[in-house]
Amino acid sequence: MMTTPDVTRLLGALVRCPSVTPDAGAALDLAAGWLAPCGFDCHRLVFEADGTAPVDNLFARLGTGSPHFCFAGHLDVVPPGETSAWSSPPFAGDIADGKMIGRGTEDMKGGVAAFIAAVLGLIDAGGATLSGSVSLLLTGDEEGPAVNGTVKVLEWMAENGHTPDHCLVGEPTGVNTLGDVAKIGRRGSLNGHLTVRGKQGHVAYPARAANPIPMALDLIAALTEPLDEGTGNFEASNLQITSIDAANTAVNIIPGRVEILFNCRFNDRWTSAGLEVELRRRLNAVAAAGATSWQLKTSSNAQSFITATGTFTNLVAKAVKDTIGIEPELTTGGGTSDARFVTKYCPVVEFGLVGRSMHQVDEYVPVSDLETLACVYRLILERYFEQPD
Ligand SMILES: [Zn+2]
């Protein structure tokens, strides 16, 4: 009989693998080394694409039956930044005042450690006879371009008969305290690059030039008009101008061109294509002044999605409530996550630690939160496999 692993010890070991994206191989080896002896069928999946580094991923599944519950997460981390600014080394996993400090403790090795502790604990308690199967999809490409990670593992899973029935993503979701928020959807994201061209000239002879700046300001005003008022599960879509650059350092030159960058986080009222149509309509509606013209390029790597509330979202919310005593708010805010890929295959809910310190110097997790999260995950699993269907 194995002994249920201590979640703090698991996290410490993961933190001591400095898996700065996309080099998560050693951390994935560790996870596979814990899961395989307990009966998980472990598949190391290396994917690559033009212009990106090859990325290691791990898919580990216990059993083949249904229902199939999948936990998705990542073991790559962002770089530590200025190491000397950390109060203890970023890849040591030191514990002080009840907190483990280290890169990835919160985002999201802590969530992975909590889930592994939970599932191995369940097996230890006799759950090897699960009425279904449980898997982990662990990628090394969440903090990077997200091209050779979750999206390709999911394709591989579908091709090999491993499409899950439900998925829990363990990213940090808490805002103020563990349990206050779970996510059932995410906004989409669209990047825009607007170029406004005029004609460069001497400021003293404006008639011989065409200043693109007034035109740019009119176009920006049109872009930043409200897009909607929000929908049932989402806040209003939001477009932020992130750069306005005329590349001009001379006070006596009218610039010939202005480059404007923006990003739009959009709700389920829009798709990226529909949003682009609307933005072009707005730009076209601004009367083209004289010799100025504009050009828009967009890119989007995330559509918005929502998981319908029901049995699965209730199961997660109730497990949180019964473990922590807090009813989690089911929200759709924040940035994009790999859940946007999972939603194409099965219902997905995100629940994890509090996102207090992710990507910061001295990223940390309270050990008590880590232990509580493992208890929440354990209860989710127990109830999932008790369900009649
Ligand atoms: Zn993350």
Whether 41 is catalytic: no
CA of 97 to the centre of ligand 1 (A): 24
Distances (CA, A) of 76 to 55, 61, 113: 10, 20, 13
Residue 76 is a catalytic residue: yes
Residues 146, 68 share a domain: yes
Domains of the chain: total: 2
Name the 3-class secondary structure at 389. coil
Centre of ligand 1 from the C-alpha of residue 47, in Å: 20
Q: Which residue is catalytic, options 56, 76, 276, 369? A: 76
0.85 exceeded by the pTM?
yes
Q: Is 1 exposed, middle or buried (0-12, 13-18, 19+ CB in 10 A)?
A: exposed
225: left (phi over 0), alpha (psi -120 to 50) or beta: beta
237 and 195 together in one domain: yes
Residues 296 and 150 in one domain: no
279 and 308 share a domain? no
Assess whether 53 and 160 both reside in one domain: yes
For residues 139 and 253, membership in a common domain is answered with: no
Ligand 1 midpoint to CA 281 (Å): 36
- Same-domain check for residues 288 and 347: no
The reported pLDDT for the residue numbered 389 is 47
Domain contains 356: yes
| 362 Cα to the center of ligand 1, angstroms | 16
Q: Domain check: are 209 and 341 in the same one?
A: no
What's the distance, Cα to Cα, between the start and end of the chain in Å? 30
SS3 call for 84: helix
What is the rounded CA–CA span in Å between residue 307 and residue 189? 18
Whether 284 is in a domain gets the answer yes
- Which tokens is 171 given? 């990213």
Distance 204 CA to ligand 1 centre (A): 53
**CATH code assigned at 292:** 3.30.70.360
**329 is a domain residue:** yes
Q: Which of 106, 142, 350, 363 is catalytic?
A: 142
182/214 same-domain check = no
Distance CA 242, CA 265 (A): 13
- CATH code of the domain covering residue 61: 3.40.630.10
* Domain C-terminal end among 240, 268, 300: 300
In a domain, 2, yes or no: no
Do 376 and 336 share a domain, yes or no? yes
- Asked whether residue 277 is assigned to any structural domain, the reply reads yes
Of the residues 250, 269, 300, which one is the last residue of a structural domain? 300
Domain that holds residue 214: 188-300
Instruction: Return the pLDDT at 131.
Output: 86
pLDDT by 10-residue block (mean), the chain, 389 residues: 76 97 94 96 94 92 96 96 95 97 97 97 77 95 88 97 98 97 96 96 96 95 97 95 96 97 97 97 79 89 94 97 97 92 97 96 97 97 80
1 in a domain, yes or no? no
Whether the ω angle into residue 358 lies within 30 degrees of 0, i.e. cis, is no
Domain boundary pick from 284, 300, 316? 300
Let me know whether 292 and 157 are in one domain.
no
Amino acid, single-letter form, for residue 277: V
